[in-house]
């Protein structure tokens, strides 16, 4: 029986891609680079922000300027992170039903922790019991360290937790944590990628996800 659910953010709870592209292209413009496309950004998402930003820069980028690049990206994202970002259809209602059922809810993302907390509260006010992004003292996904901390804080066993995401990173994290890997197919990766990462279940929409969680 599932007692808690940990959700990825980008591509799982909300479609953040338009604002990611805008912010990355503001950062690239700072260095005089041409814009990149959504398809190019897709190959980099899921990584912690420093690696994700680096992957969206040319291969020959001067590594000594990465601090400058991160500052430019963070400044742009702080200005644009809620321009077009919105919850996926049915997700707010899904969260409300899970809470009514007594299931504890958390967000665990490789985004910057401050952004995760602000965006979670802005888009899903009061829906989550915990929201975590990447912080300096805890490794990013697919390391399971934060997942273990969430389970401990919730007072549940790992096998009682559904770990929900749209990427192989999320499925691998779930496996590393001994949690139930549930992939959603509406995000940034396809079903084949989720299955290759170890997804035990796949959900095609929010209603499907609710029934999947309740059936485990």
In three state form, how does the secondary structure of the chain look? CCCEEEECCECCCEECHHHHHHHHHHHHHHCCCCCCCHHHHHCCCCCCHHHHHHHCCCCCCCHHHHHHHHHHHHHHHHHHCCCCCEECCCHHHHHHHHHHCCCEEEEEEEEEHHHHHHHHHHHCCCCCCEEEEEECCECCCCCCHHHHHHHHHHCCCHHHEEEEECCHHHHHHHHHHCCEEEEECCCCCCHHHHHHHCCCEEECCHHHHHHHHHHC
Residue 99's CATH number: 3.40.50.1000
Angle, vertex CA 183, rays to CA 123 and CA 37, nearest 5 = 65
Is 26 in the same domain as 45?
yes
Q: What length does the chain have?
A: 216
Per-residue model confidence as pLDDT tens digits over 56-114: 999 999 999 999 999 999 999 999 999 999 999 999 999 999 999 999 999 999 999 99
What's the pTM value of the predicted model, to 2 decimals? 0.94
Assess whether 72 and 103 both reside in one domain. no
| pLDDT in the model for residue 169 | 93
Clarify whether residues 75 and 53 are in a common domain.
yes
Joined tokens for residue 199? 């997804």
Final residue in a domain of this structure, among 33, 50, 80: 80
Half-sphere exposure in the Cβ direction for 207 (13 Å, CA): 0
Nearest to 95 by CA among 157, 167, 87: 87
The pLDDT of residue 46: 83
33 & 90 share domain? no
Does residue 155 share a domain with residue 117? yes
The verdict on 122 and 22 lying in the same domain is: no
With vertex at residue 206, the alpha carbon angle to CA 181 and CA 166, rounded to the nearest 5 degrees, is: 40
Answer with the one of 65, 80, 95 that is the final residue of a domain: 80
What Rg, from alpha-carbon coordinates, does the chain have? 17
Per-residue pLDDT, 170: 97
User: Could you tell me if 39 and 134 lie in one domain?
Assistant: no
pLDDT, position 48: 84
Task: Clarify whether residues 73 and 90 are in a common domain.
Answer: no
State how far the Cα of 148 lies from the Cα of 153, in Å rounded to an integer: 9
How many distinct structural domains can be found in the chain? 2
pLDDT given at position 211: 97
Q: Let me know whether 136 and 116 are in one domain.
A: yes
Q: Please tell me whether residues 181 and 140 are part of one structural domain.
A: yes
What does the longest C-alpha to C-alpha distance in the chain come to?
53
Of the residues 25, 48, 80, which one is the last residue of a structural domain?
80
Provide the domain limits for residue 11: 4-15+85-215
Residues 64 and 117 in one domain: no
Shared-domain flag, residues 89 and 181:
yes
Q: Tens digit of pLDDT per residue, the chain (216 long)?
A: 999 999 999 999 999 999 999 999 999 999 999 999 999 999 888 888 999 999 999 999 999 999 999 999 999 999 999 999 999 999 999 999 999 999 999 999 999 999 999 999 999 999 999 999 999 899 999 999 999 999 999 999 999 999 999 999 999 999 999 999 999 999 999 999 999 999 999 999 999 999 999 999
């Amino acid at each position: 029986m599932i007692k808690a659910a940990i959700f990825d953010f980008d591509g799982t709870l909300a479609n953040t891609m338009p604002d990611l592209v805008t912010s990355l292209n503001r950062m690239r413009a700072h260095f005089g680079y041409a814009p990149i496309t959504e398809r190019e950004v897709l190959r980099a998402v899921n990584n912690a922000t420093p690696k994700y930003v680096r992957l969206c820069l040319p291969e020959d980028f001067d590594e000594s300027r990465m601090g400058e690049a991160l500052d430019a990206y963070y400044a742009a994202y702080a200005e644009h992170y809620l321009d077009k970002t919105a919850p996926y259809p049915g997700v707010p209602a899904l969260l409300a039903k899970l809470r009514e059922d007594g299931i504890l809810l958390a967000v665990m993302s490789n985004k910057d922790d401050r952004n995760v907390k602000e965006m979670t509260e802005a888009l899903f006010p009061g829906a989550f019991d915990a929201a975590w992004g990447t912080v300096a003292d805890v490794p990013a996904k697919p390391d399971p360290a934060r997942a273990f901390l969430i389970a401990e804080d919730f007072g549940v066993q790992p096998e009682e937790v559904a770990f929900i995401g749209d990427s192989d990173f999320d499925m691998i994290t779930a496996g590393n944590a001994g949690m139930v890997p549930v992939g959603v197919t509406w995000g940034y990766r396809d079903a084949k990628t989720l299955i290759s990462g170890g997804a035990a279940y796949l959900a095609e929409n929010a209603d499907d996800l609710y029934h999947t969680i309740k059936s485990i």
